[in-house]
Structure 1
Amino acid sequence: MGLLARPKLLPFSKQGTAPVWSSRTLTTTRPLRQTGPRYASEPQPEKPINFYKTHGRAFFKAITLAFLTYQIAYWAWLTLETEDIMDQKKREIKSLESEVRLLDDSRKSHRPAT
């Protein structure tokens, strides 16, 4: 009766100080297949929705800031461009007015006195 549950005594360990006990049983049946993942450390494939749940706010914030930065830069460029065009037009008007005055003065000076 004592032979059924008795563990085997294996040779001494590499250090040679303590015996190693084994309670391994020998069976001829295969273990059942598990339906879970093969390895505990293998990550599950991520679904796209998980990405947006995790990073959605940061992504939205980055896109919004980029859009606002673009709008501010565009508005500043448009304002400077408008000021430049208006300055060119004012200079052109002044030169044309001075040309008209010169032509008017020369016309008045060549007019015969009556």
Structure 2
Amino acid sequence: MGLPARSQLLPSTRQITARVWSSRTLTTTRPLRQIEPRYPVDTQPEKPINFYKTHGRAFFKAITLAFLTYQIAYWAWLTLETEEVMDQKKREIKSLESEVRLLDDSRKSHRPGT
């Protein structure tokens, strides 16, 4: 006995096209009846532990990355602010030193007897 020919095993393209056209609906409105789900619906709510079992690592990773990003931004901001304050203090010291020199020179020039 021989094997059946390939054309006998597989449906022809005409048969497939006929099936597709016969099962298509041409309306764009939804049916009025509600479709029952094919799987059983649990009546009990899901426990919170199940959420953390499935999403715990991703949640921990997101929180950790957010915390690290905040710490890096805070450190950078603090460094820049410290440099700005130090620069202001140095400028203030220079201006005060120049003012002291001017006052000292004017005092020496007005001193009678020197």
TM-score range, shorter chain: 0.5 to 0.7
> Which structure 2 residue ranges, 5 or more long, are not aligned?
1-37
Query: How far off is 1:64 after superposition?
Result: 0.3
Q: Between Structure 1 and Structure 2, whose CA radius of gyration is higher?
A: 1
Query: How far off is 1:112 after superposition?
Result: 2.0
Please identify which structure carries the higher strand content: 1
Q: How many residues align?
A: 76
**Counterpart of 1:83?**
83
1:77 and 1:110 map into 2 onto residues whose CA distance is 50
- Counterpart amino acid of 2:41? E
Aligned Cα root-mean-square deviation (Å): 1.6
**Counterpart of 1:6?**
none
- Counterpart amino acid of 2:108? K
Deviating beyond 4 angstroms after TM superposition, the runs of 4 or more aligned structure 1 residues are none
Query: How far off is 1:47 after superposition?
Result: 1.0
**Counterpart of 1:41?**
40
**Counterpart of 1:13?**
none
- Superposed CA deviations along residues 12-37 of structure 1, whole A, max 9, x for unmatched, are xxxxxxxxxxxxxxxxxxxxxxxxxx
- Counterpart amino acid of 2:79? T
Q: Secondary structure at the residue paired with 1:40? A: coil
**Counterpart of 2:105?**
105
- Superposed CA deviations along residues 49-88 of structure 1, whole A, max 9, x for unmatched, are 1100000000000000000000001001111111111111
Identity %, equivalent residues: 89
1:84 and 1:40 map into 2 onto residues whose CA distance is 65
Give the TM-score, by structure 2 length. Answer: 0.62
